Structure 1
């Protein structure tokens, strides 16, 4: 192989894909060609044994040295497989391969038979499977799938809501004081702390020069939370939690919430932010990634930088020049916008993201987290309190 011409290596690699892995015994390989190795990984997922996870639920298989795609030699998940097929195959071939995936990975019955689907306990892994293959659902199963997704979303929302609301609303009530002396709005903690210098040790009394009061909530300018969700297959877990989080934000007083999905294009779903099921059914897995464009769009939504928080959910694998992303992040940070970049969001969040790029963004003003929804709310509460 080492003495073969580039054309010969190209031909041998194509024959290797046609003949299968056994061809390597005869010296017919993919010739260390990264593209052909990725194609082999995709084909092996369909026709090989023990490859990947048929539900796409495990989240395993992200190589630490991934270069904007799938490397060879590690297990694929269904969302990763979808990303790679969208990148390497034309649309018609992509449709054929996805149908073959459903047939060969043991979920055809699940998608075709509503009665079978009804027997399965609704859970986030099932939701991920349904979202990954939503275009292949028949009409009856589609109705049931929506019901299942809604059930899981409501369960997640109830689990998250109390702590998220407490963290955000508590911070909002305390991020500004008012000159109006209304007893029920007394900020006792701040009043005591700022008058400690007046404590008289002899009498054991604290003399108050000034009392501090919380501002009436309706008098205050709202905070604007902008949630930007990467549609790449590796981010499906985080997209589910992001949609639920955004719906909770939308119900809070003194919070204005914007939500959009992105790949190389932008899908603004702010008018659906209170309907997380509709948001999730709008997710289109696969395609390229333009994080810079997403931040530019978010920047355009900002009206008051000092009271705006951009929550970016992405794996930080940028499709364009990384310098553009760093420049855009710095520009937004310097304008006063607070930015949180999430490599993963969820209860079993796996930190599979481009750490090198994330570190560069942290240096120019973006907080980088991999956390639970409640931890994210606490972080946002700290930002609001200042």
Structure 2
């Protein structure tokens, strides 16, 4: 097949069968299967009839039909495309109710969006479907753990060690930038060197409890993907003996899920996605968990659309800061782009010295490391934003 012919066929798949005659190209058997799968999703009814007379489209209400379609797209398309098409099918063709059938779940390609959808359906699932849903969500959680757990453990363990300093470090533990900065007055011009009269180094890691981390996650519907990632990260942190981790989920009510952190799947099915948002109430509960303010990091994951008393929320954050707590606000913890959020509240928090920004799961371990080692979170966030912009 020539390059021009391959390009025409790709455009034909993109534009649909109405363009077949105009483009003077014919699809092969495999491409025809791809075209049928695309047509069923993107050229069916969506509120009104499509203009193309040749594509009736739609997956109908039959679970076997949906299962066949799910099998087709897994045959014809790579995993990344399958996940996008599944997500579009749930949104465009109202297939949410179909996910309550165990036979259909067995055909689905698991991803974080599907996991969030299943968690949101938890309260209306029959028990037989719930068992299958837990297996599907478990596969997603296991994949996320493989992706981020090791990096998180390494980053947090190193940060906890580096947060403590000693004036009598062993050679491998010397913090050379800090040592040089502390000995600049001992520079010898004729030798072009610094005599380090005072050494500064990192303390050796101890098995003693070093830091407290409180993760407060907004479980309103818009934060679904963030809830999935937050559960995995909190469970990973809970496995570290030097960090005491608490996980709080909230909407207008507050649920402490700390006792479930041994199993992130159990954490997720303890959440109730959807509903309103009362950040102030959640912060009040988190405040009650703080016993060592200067050793506590509070990570609030929320889009900041406060349904409670916004002024009280800001006063509570200011009090946490005055007590010595390190506070970080994540508008989203997800792979998605810039989230929708309350800009006014984000600006008010920034004025208090609390950075509010979105963070991808791959960046989160580094964020934790900076926060736990008492680094400048705002500077880190700005640098990350610049680097992402340069990469694009």
What TM-score does the superposition give when structure 1 sets the normalisation length? 0.68
> Could you report, residue by residue, the CA deviation over 1:60-83 in whole angstroms, capped at 9, with x for unpaired residues?
xxxxxxxxxxxxxxxxxxxxxxxx
> Could you report, residue by residue, the CA deviation over 1:322-341 in whole angstroms, capped at 9, with x for unpaired residues?
21111111111121111111
Q: What corresponds to 1:267 in structure 2?
A: 255
**Superposition map of 1:309-348 within 5 A:** 309-348=297-336
Structure 1 residues 107 and 379, CA, compared in 2 at 3 Å: closer, same or farther? closer
CA distance in 2, matches of 1:322, 1:160: 34
Q: What corresponds to 1:116 in structure 2?
A: 104
The answer (yes or no) to whether the contact 1:329–1:365 under 8 Å persists in 2 is no
* 3-state SS of 1:240 partner: helix
The answer (yes or no) to whether the contact 1:246–1:274 under 8 Å persists in 2 is no
Q: What corresponds to 2:38 in structure 1?
A: none
Instruction: Check if 1:162 corresponds to 2:162.
Output: no
Instruction: Check if 1:229 corresponds to 2:227.
Output: no
Q: Tell me the CA shift for residue 277 of structure 1.
A: 0.7
Within the candidate set 227, 233, 236, 1:248 is matched to: 236
Q: What corresponds to 1:132 in structure 2?
A: 120
Q: Tell me the CA shift for residue 115 of structure 1.
A: 3.0
Q: What corresponds to 1:105 in structure 2?
A: 94
Q: Tell me the CA shift for residue 204 of structure 1.
A: 5.1
CA distance in 1, matches of 2:315, 2:135: 43
Instruction: Check if 1:209 corresponds to 2:203.
Output: no
Structure 1 residues 384 and 108, CA, compared in 2 at 3 Å: closer, same or farther? closer
Within the candidate set 289, 292, 307, 2:295 is matched to: 307
Structure 1 residues 209 and 278, CA, compared in 2 at 3 Å: closer, same or farther? same
The answer (yes or no) to whether the contact 2:168–2:199 under 8 Å persists in 1 is no
The answer (yes or no) to whether the contact 1:259–1:270 under 8 Å persists in 2 is yes
CA distance in 2, matches of 1:273, 1:117: 26
Within the candidate set 329, 346, 360, 1:358 is matched to: 346
Q: Tell me the CA shift for residue 274 of structure 1.
A: 2.9
CA distance in 2, matches of 1:293, 1:108: 33
Structure 1 residues 169 and 263, CA, compared in 2 at 3 Å: closer, same or farther? same
**Superposition map of 1:37-76 within 5 A:** 49=47
**Superposition map of 1:175-190 within 5 A:** 175-190=163-178
CA distance in 2, matches of 1:376, 1:125: 19
Q: What corresponds to 2:24 in structure 1?
A: none
* 3-state SS of 1:173 partner: helix
Q: Tell me the CA shift for residue 285 of structure 1.
A: 2.2
Structure 1 residues 345 and 198, CA, compared in 2 at 3 Å: closer, same or farther? same
The answer (yes or no) to whether the contact 1:230–1:239 under 8 Å persists in 2 is yes
CA distance in 2, matches of 1:250, 1:263: 23
The answer (yes or no) to whether the contact 1:169–1:253 under 8 Å persists in 2 is no
> Could you report, residue by residue, the CA deviation over 1:190-229 in whole angstroms, capped at 9, with x for unpaired residues?
3344334434343455433122332222176511110011
Gaps of 5+ in 2: 1-44, 49-58, 60-89, 375-392
Gaps of 5+ in 1: 1-46, 55-100
Q: What corresponds to 1:380 in structure 2?
A: 368
Aligned length: 289
Q: Tell me the CA shift for residue 189 of structure 1.
A: 4.2
Structure 1 residues 349 and 242, CA, compared in 2 at 3 Å: closer, same or farther? farther
What TM-score does the superposition give when structure 2 sets the normalisation length? 0.67
Structure 1 residues 282 and 324, CA, compared in 2 at 3 Å: closer, same or farther? same
CA distance in 1, matches of 2:169, 2:218: 46
CA distance in 2, matches of 1:181, 1:129: 51
The answer (yes or no) to whether the contact 2:230–2:333 under 8 Å persists in 1 is yes
Q: Tell me the CA shift for residue 141 of structure 1.
A: 2.2
**Superposition map of 1:266-305 within 5 A:** 266-305=254-293
